[in-house]
Every structure is written in C-alpha cells, then in structure tokens.
Chain A
C-alpha cells in the first residue's frame, strides 16, 4: 500500500527530480553569472586607493589601521603602501606595509605601528607605490 506514493512512472522518487532540477537551476545560475561577467564585465587594471580606517592608541604608540581598496577588475599582488607623517618625527616616516593580494573590488586591511608618539589621522599621508600581477 502506498509503495508508489511520491514516485514517477519509472518508480523513481519525485524528490530526486526536485533535487535535480534545483541543482540544475543553481549550476545554470553560476554559469550565467560567469558568462555575463566574461561577456560584459570590464577588464580595467587594478585601481588602488589607501585610506585610514581608524587610529588607536596602543601601549606607548599609535596604531594606524589602513584599508586598501581595489576598484579595478583585476587583482593586484605585492601592493606596497607607504605612510608619511607630516610634521612628525622623520624616523617614524617612510614606513611600509605590503599586501600579498588585493582582489578586484576587494578591501584588505593592515596597520602601521608608530611608536612613542600620539598621532592623529590627519597627520598621516598614505601612498600606494605599485603592484605586480598575481
């Protein structure tokens, strides 16, 4: 009794077809997304910008957390960001942070540690030096 409930005429549970069709929709969506990006997506080179995320006092110094964003459509590797302190101790200037990768449209974070002095966000000037292809 009820042996064929929820089964198609080949005796295959309908659930299998539901799972199958749902999976097919998901795979089609992945393929459609990639195809759309491949056909209509831009291929602009990496467009990197470094901004100060926040400034925190730690121990006897200051932590300057920075965010590097890539508005381009290609990933960048070995991104070097330099921080210069305006009107500050020249020894604390010229610090560098290196990011292994910044993917397209991605944001990566890092921090400069400036020892022995309190620094305000406005005193720090950030400069992106360049990048390499991954």
Chain B
C-alpha cells in the first residue's frame, strides 16, 4: 500500500534526486553565473546585506519545499532538511561553474569566494528545490503532489507569485541596465510601464487560471479578481523588486523619485514572473 511496485535502491534514488537538484540549480542560475555584475557584487556587497539575503532565503526555501513538497503529511523538519540540501547542492554547482569560468581561482581571496558563491546560491537553490519536487511528484502514488493540482490557499497563491517574481527579478536586478533604463525613462514612461505590468499580470492570471479556493467564477464582477489577485500580485512584485535593489546596493544615495522609478522598472519583469509563476515553477 505504501510502496509502489517498482522500487529503486535507496542509494540510487538519492543519487538521482541529487542529480535532479543539481540540474535544476544549473538551469535557474546559469544566466546569473554568467553575469559579471553578480561576480562584482560578491566582493563589494555589504556583508550585512548578504546575510539579510541568506536569512530571508532560508524560510522562503523551507516554505517552498513545503508548498511543492512530496507529501502533505510530511514533517516541517523534512522541509528544513530539503531546503538545506538544496542550498548545499547549489553551493557545489555554483563553485564548480565559477571555477570553470575562471572567476574563482587559487588567488581569489576567501572572502570574495564566499561572497560570489553565496549570492549565486540563493536563486540556484530555488531551482534545485523545484526540480527535486518534480521528482517527488513522479514517484508518488497519487497525483495530488503535483503543485498545480494541490489544493491551494490564497496565501499559497501569493507565495507562489513572490517566488516567481523573485526568480525573474533576480536575473536582472544586479545588472547596470536596470538603473540605466530608469534614468532614460521619464515619469510618463514609468506610468505606462506600471499600467502595462498590471494589465499583463491580469492577462496571465486569467489565461493560466488560479486553481483552488480562490478560483475565479464567472458570476464574479470583473474587478473582483483584479482586486484579490492582480493588484496584490503587483504589490508583491514591486516589494520583491525594492528588496532586491536594496540588497544589491542599487538604491544607495538615490532620491525617492529615482527609487520609485527603478522599482517600477524592475517590477515589470517581476510582475511577469509572479503572474507566470505557474508556467515557470
């Protein structure tokens, strides 16, 4: 009853599990591993902000593991272990990639090595967890473990949006282009970008549909899903953007006007990531 007919040896299963996690980490973090701004951030970023990034990433990974995890009944401790394994696998993947790219050599100061690897580990570990969860879904006996089919709470939907926003925004937040774009734009451009972000988000939310408790019923007025899903989604995307820009020290010395502009720019990809979380994750 508890086991499927076909059972792999434990060690082989573990190896496949780890391999999948490593693959997921690579897919998620490769664009970032090959971005020079992230290497630079590794040595100049304020260590307190790096710590803040890791401290916020840990609970996020645990909840993500819970959310996309194998079984509803599993213990919280399993999720903590899964999150730590994801971080560990990501660490190895990032070190190997950065060494192969010649970004980390024997001459690189230890502090710089840590900085460069830690900053890459966070997005990579999201990828590792998601890949691992797919393995879990495949090996389970019921289809309930598929994150798309899981009965979803409102909080779960918003959380998934945050992860999607984080995933896409992480790719572009450290680049100089984010600031450059905001400097090239006028406030009118920013207004249009905010409107487009919200409109696209709403399109995605509708096109992809949000299953579960907060499903959009045809009897509801048009503004109901906008108010309950789209606008909170945009606020989440904007908050994730603001947080990432702060972590990557992009807002230092800026006036409120420039901060809002830069956040609106980054919130565009973040909003797409949040709305398309169901596709990406």
Question: Which residues of chain A have a CB within 8 Å of any CB of chain B?
Answer: 10, 12-13, 15-17, 19-24, 26-27, 30-31, 33-35, 37-38, 41, 43, 75, 77, 100-101, 103-109, 134
Complex: A30 Cα to B237 Cα, angstroms: 13
- Is the pair B258, A134 in contact by a Cβ cutoff of 8 Å? no
A28 to B, closest residue via Cβ: B231
With A104-B257, A106-B254 as contacts: A13 and B183 at CB distance below 8 Å: no
Listed A/B pairs (14) with beta-carbon separation below 8 Å:
A15-B154, A16-B214, A22-B235, A23-B231, A30-B260, A34-B187, A34-B191, A34-B194, A38-B186, A38-B190, A101-B179, A103-B179, A106-B255, A134-B183
B1 part of interface (Cβ distance < 8 Å): no
Q: Which residues of B contact A33 (CB under 8 A)?
A: 260
Of the candidates A20, A38, A107, the one whose C-beta lies within 8 Å of that of B232 is A20
B52 part of interface (Cβ distance < 8 Å): no
- Is the pair B154, A103 in contact by a Cβ cutoff of 8 Å? no
- Between B214, B219, B255, the greatest number of chain A beta carbons within 10 A of the residue's beta carbon is seen for B255
Question: Which residues of chain B have a CB within 8 Å of any CB of chain A?
Answer: 154, 158, 176, 179-180, 183-184, 186-188, 190-191, 194, 198, 214, 219-220, 227-228, 231-232, 234-235, 238, 253-255, 257-258, 260-261, 264
CB distance from A27 to the nearest CB of B (A): 5
**Interface contacts beyond A19-B158, A35-B187, A77-B183: sample of 5 additional A-B pairs, CB < 8 Å, sorted by A:** A26-B235, A27-B198, A27-B231, A37-B257, A108-B253
Q: Which residues of A contact B186 (CB under 8 A)?
A: 38, 43
- Is the pair A103, B183 in contact by a Cβ cutoff of 8 Å? yes
Q: Which residues of B contact A38 (CB under 8 A)?
A: 186-188, 190-191
Complex: A41 Cα to B256 Cα, angstroms: 13
CB distance from B139 to the nearest CB of A (A): 34
